[in-house]
Amino acid sequence: MDGILSYGVYIPFYRLSGETLRQVWGAGAKGEKAVANADEDSLTMGVEAARDCLQGMEKYAVDRLYFASTTAPFKEKQSASIIAAALDLRDDVIATDFSGSLRSGTIALQLALDAVKAGAANQVLVVASDCRIPPPSSDAELVLGDGAVAFLIGRDAPIQIERSCHLASEFIDVWRLEYDKLPRKWEDRFIVEAGYSPFVKKAVSTLLKSCNLTMKDISKACYYANDTRVHRSMVKSLGLDASQIQDPLFGRVGNTGAAFALMMLVGALEEAQKGERILLANYGDGADACVVLVAGDMGNKRGCLQRYLESKAMLDNYGKYIKFRNLMEFEQTPEHAPRTSLSQMWRERKWVYRFHGHKCQKCGKVQFPLQKYCMFCQAEEESLEEVNISDRRGTLFTFSVDERAPVADPPNVLAAVNFEDGGRFFSQMTDRDVTSIKVGMPMELTFRRIHDALGVHNYFWKCKPVR
Amino acid sequence: MRTGVKDKVAIIGVGCSKFGERWDAGIDDLIKEATKEACGDAGIEIKDIQAIWLGTLQGSQQSAGGASTGIVVSQTLQTQSTPVTRVENACASGQEAVRGAAYGVASGAYDLVMAIGVEKLKDTGFAGLGVGFPGKWEPVYGAFGTAPGRYAMAATAYFAKYGLPFDEGKRILAEISVKSHFYGARNPKSHLKREITVEEVLNAPIIAWPLGLFDCCGVTDGAAAAILVPASEAKNYRKDYVTIKGLGISAGAGWGKERDDYDFTYWDATRMAARQAYAEAGIKEPNSEIDFVELHDCFSIAELIATESLLLCEAGKYKQEFTDKKAYYHDGNMPINVSGGLKSFGHPIGASGCRETYEICKQIQGKAQETSRQIKGAKTGLSHNQGGHPGRFVCGVIIYGAP
């Protein structure tokens, strides 16, 4: 039966704590939230979740890539096509963005299933990611977190989506207009009482009725809620008992928008036993609900969520957070601004986006970036075979810690990473604890936003200590 | 059959502007200051010059796109229609200018030419080098890789390879900077004139770990010039002229640092350029046949590794051969950068190669401006500059000597 072949998740390295917010604003709840690094956005986090999802899978079998987010980095210009390139997918995939709604992730998931069911695609990769900026000093500041999930949808899947129910509504509660950086909203009680609560209840009850199930048949319930109070208020009205509630990760990751309910689903799948049924319910411009049946075994997939939850570093001050999200105007120096060249990036796309290197057929050496002649034996380009090396791991050969480079998360750590199977990547190191960097430490690659130059986001790869 | 330029070309005059943050001087003022002194030293006039080579990375960084053609010289010196060739090989641009001028003379095309190196860096409105901005070479590859950040990787690698504990490695580097400042304080034209102590170096703020403030050269304005003639005619101008013994330029492995067999502890282009120059000069044992060296010490680690890569000591033996013996002082076995070097005299990028020519000629002529740093009996001096960063260098080496 059609369903989920694989899943992946990504939670950024940094956390912002309520304690830090309390120091700045005089008030702040307990707990923390996940914060995208300065070089991350919903697109790059989506790439990481998708890479996690595709581990051990055949990525060239993917026919479609659906990217869902309310915070796509470009207003005009697809994110999905850049993600597809970073994942080194085939170029004849349908890549498209789903946007505008917190429900875009679950809608994309449903449409992916429909495409597989209809025989229009064999495998669809669904990526949901969000990096929403809460208004500073608002209650939402510690609630909205950053993160991403990915699901590979296909045939003969170990995890099946038995039935689903969808409601669309013109209800307006949260929105952003073209030039809004921060989300706007109507009164909280109106949102919950007139929108969220009735829509979710209706979707869930309709769903359960349609497949002759009751809440007792559900092992875990994964449902969206704006914050922890609203989440708790639904326990009773949905008829759940405490053991059925999937941890929404408030106080650890936060509400990750389009990825939020789906990240709970990943959490539930990580611990689910064969035969269990999971309820997934999402909200935004209406509601969705579906029953997910664990029909088979996910094998070695488990553990990715826990790994990302545990591997973290606290943002030690609010100033860094301001810089990461560009919430203030900073000193403008006459220093040369970063620059880019889209035509050059296009010519070099095979290594800039896809991270292809060369393996020399004459001397066997792996090299990056792509070369005109072998950098070891000077063999002609025809002897150089293009290979994807983005998933290789390596060790740190040497590094420096530049305190003066104008980066958003100083200092700038420059690194030379030697890959396990040969080849070297000279790169910036991200997501690192500067005090614990050591020659020889294990490294992996990550897709990041290098800078915004000439008004365009410029993406490339960096290295980071293995998380 | 090629015969090289050994003893075919002579330097009959050198000039050097005051180096520093020259708020008072534009690129034209710097060029005039250096060339006027060089012409006076040679006893010639500007109108006698038949061709000019200008070495500069970006000329004046204020000019659009950083480009400067030879016109910056002709309009300053009113040379009218004299040929001026602008050459650029990053920090080896000064060497490249001397090389072009030397070949112009050696070929018989000209019998009186000038090489100029100049850089006006302090008109940009910000501290540091304007060339370190992201996207200089590639839009995203190596972005934000500043010069200190890139050279610091070599220090980390050198410490790791030779098992130097951090404190010991830092101290070896600190001694180099102390020496540079010692001589900067004894050179009237130098940029940095304050002597410093090892403790000051070790306690200074970090710029790019493991390099601190005093491990890095500053940003300096300056110009230097040399007048070249066929060696056979040199005695018509002066007795104590200096000849070129050998020169080498190496554009090293551009993708050197990307090779997983490169370990960041040697400069390949420096080794290659040095071998070319030694071969042309007929030098078999550089350590005994070279009397003193002016080399590219934009960072303390750059001086350490360049010393080894110029084959002046075995790789990894710098501490024993130079630090412990204080061999690099003017009264040591192999005086290095007793001008103050790039570190303290200053490093206006395109000027440095010609500035080294100036220092070497003055030393050989026994005319170091302050006798306290005059090397006794100096006959053969080596000038070295390299542009780029570890694993991606273009390097120039020129050996000068008494005829």
Domain housing A70: 3-324
Residue A176 pLDDT more than 80?
yes
pLDDT by residue (tens digit) across A240-277?
999 999 999 999 999 999 999 999 999 999 999 999 99
Q: What is the mean pLDDT of residues A398-415?
A: 94
Residues 286-345 of chain A whose Cβ lies under 8 A from any Cβ of chain B: 333-341, 344-345
Suggest the residue from A344, A414, A432, A437 to mutate for an interface test with chain B (most B CBs closer than 10 A). A414
CB-based contact A401 B205, cutoff 8 Å: no
Q: Are residues A291 and A347 in the same domain?
A: no
**Position A365 in a domain:** no
**Residue matched to tokens 């929108």:** A195
Is A414 found in the same domain as A275?
no
pLDDT digits (tens, 9 = 90+) for A315-333: 989 999 999 999 999 887 7
Does residue A291 share a domain with residue A346? Answer: no
Task: Give B 361-400 residues with CB within 8 A of chain A.
Answer: 391
Write out chain A residues lying below 8 Å of B391, CB-based: 426
Q: Is B129 on the interface with A (CB under 8 A)?
A: no
Whether A42 maps to a domain, the answer reads yes
Q: Among B179-188, B262-271, B363-372, where is mean pLDDT lowest?
A: B363-372
Stretch (H or E) spanning B342: helix B341-344
H helix intervals, B259-339: 268-281, 286-289, 300-309, 318
pLDDT of residue A231 exceeding 60: yes
Q: How many domains does chain A have?
A: 2
Residues A287 and A139 occupy one common structural domain: yes
Residues of chain A neighbouring B152 (CB-CB closer than 8 A)? 400-402, 414
CATH number of domain containing A436: 2.40.50.840
CATH number at A185 reads 3.40.47.10
Which pair of tokens denotes residue B382?
């080596």
Q: Are residues A306 and A200 in the same domain?
A: yes
- Per-residue confidence (pLDDT) for residue B153, from 0 to 100: 98
In degrees rounded to 5, what are phi and psi of residue A277?
-115, 135
A268 and A407 assigned to the same domain: no
Model pLDDT, residue B136: 55
What number of other Cβ atoms are within 10 A of residue B379's Cβ?
A: 16
A381 in any annotated domain = no
Catalytic residue among B39, B91, B217, B298: B91
- Both tokens of A234, joined, read 């639904």
For B141, which of A336, A375, A460 is closest by C-beta distance?
Answer: A460
> What's the longest Cα–Cα distance across chain B?
59
**Looking at residue B65, what is its pLDDT?**
42
Q: Taking CB atoms and an 8 Å limit, are A459 and B160 in contact across chains?
A: no
Domain with CATH 3.40.47.10 in chain B: 9-124+221-236, 146-216+241-401
Residue A217 to chain B, least CA–CA distance (Å): 52
- Check residue A335 and give its pLDDT: 73
**Neighboring chain B residues of A358 at a CB cutoff of 8 Å:** none
- Tell me the three state secondary structure of residue A266: helix
For residue B132, is pLDDT > 70? Answer: no
DSSP symbol at B321: I
Strands A64-68 and A94-98, sheet pairing: parallel
d(CA B129, nearest CA chain A) in Å: 9
* A76 assigned to some structural domain: yes
Question: Per the domain annotation, does A35 fall within a domain?
Answer: yes
Helix H, strand E, coil C: the string for B190-225 is CCCCCCCCHHHHHHCCEEEECEEHHHECCCCEEEEE
The mean pLDDT value for A73-92 works out to 97
User: In this complex, which of A335, A401, A423 lies closest to B209 when CB atoms are compared?
Assistant: A401
What pLDDT shows up at residue B64? 43
Domain match, A286 and A405 both: no
**Distance (Å) from the alpha carbon of A398 to chain B's nearest alpha carbon:** 5
Which of A338, A369, A376 faces B134 most closely, judged by CB atoms?
A338
Does the residue A224 lie in any domain?
yes
C-alpha pair distances (Å), A393 with each of A288, A465, B157: 39, 10, 20
Chain B touched by A346 (CB under 8 Å): no
User: What is the number of other CB atoms lying within 10 angstroms of the CB of residue A78?
Assistant: 16
Provide the 8-state DSSP code for B255: T
d(CA A158, nearest CA chain B) in Å:
41
- A317: amino acid identity, one letter: N
User: Is some CB atom of chain A closer than 8 A to the CB atom of B146?
Assistant: yes
Average pLDDT of chain A, as a whole number: 95
- Is residue A456 domain-resident? yes
> Is B298 designated active site?
no
CATH H-level superfamily of B146-216+241-401: Thiolase/Chalcone synthase (3.40.47.10)
Please, which pLDDT band fits residue B211 given cuts at 50, 70 and 90? very high
Interface of B with A in 49-108 (CB under 8 A): none
CATH architecture of B9-124+221-236: 3-Layer(aba) Sandwich (3.40)
Do both A351 and A251 map to the same domain? no
Token digits for B264? 């960041």
Chain B (309-338) residues lying within 8 Å, Cβ to Cβ, of chain A: none
- The model's pTM is 0.95
Looking at the complex, does the CB of residue B121 fall below 8 Å from at least one CB of chain A?
no
State the pLDDT confidence band at B128, using cuts at 50, 70 and 90.
Answer: confident
Pairwise CB contact (< 8 Å): A335 & B139 = no
Query: Which tens digit of pLDDT belongs to each residue from B283-301?
Result: 999 999 999 999 999 999 9
User: Active-site residue B347, yes or no?
Assistant: yes
- Asked if B259 reaches chain A (Cβ–Cβ under 8 Å), the answer is yes
